[in-house]
Amino acid sequence: MLDEAWTLTPGVALRPEPFGALAYHFGNRRLTFLKRPELVAVVRSLGDAPTVRSALTAAGVPVAHFPAYLEALRGLAATDMIRPRNPS
């Protein structure tokens, strides 16, 4: 995942909250909590970043924390909140 291109799924809205954000998927109607503001920044920037790695770096996430962020991102992928971007 780290060197792949991903994006916030179209039809998913992020609502800012003190702890991070609520993500709501209008398609499957799932609600998920993004529990860190840094994670919200990463998710928002995925679509414009060449890779997940560059999105993490741009958000200032230390390399040592990448595994925890990747786990969170995989969780979001499992409910289709984010999805791989087709190479163009």
Partner 1 sequence: MSLIEQFELGLDAPICLTWELTYACNLSCVHCLSSSGRRDPRELTTAQCEAVIDELQAMQVFYVNVGGGEPTVRPDFWYLLEYAVAHQVGVKFSTNGVRITPERAAFLAGTDYVDVQVSLDGATAAVNDRVRGEGSFALATRALDHLAAAGFRDAKVSVVVTRENVGQLDDFKAIADRYGATLRLTRLRPSGRGADVWDELHPTAEQQRQLYQWLLRAGEKVLTGDSFFHLAGYGQPLPGLNLCGAGRVVCLIDPIGDVYACPFAIHDQFLAGSVLEPGGFAGVWRDSELFRDLRSVHSGGACTSCGSYDACRGGCMAAKFFTGLPLDGPDPECVHGYAEPALAAAGRIAPSPSQDHSHRGAPVRLALGPTRLCDQSPLVPAGGGR
Q: Which residues bind partner 1 (CB under 8 A)?
A: 13, 15-19, 22, 24, 26, 29, 31, 33, 35
Q: Would you say 39 and 82 are in contact if contact means Cβ atoms under 8 Å apart?
A: no
Q: Which is nearer to partner 1, 10 or 29 (CB)?
A: 29
Q: Which is nearer to partner 1, 16 or 84 (CB)?
A: 16
* Residue 19: CB minimum distance to partner 1, A: 4
Q: Which is nearer to partner 1, 29 or 86 (CB)?
A: 29
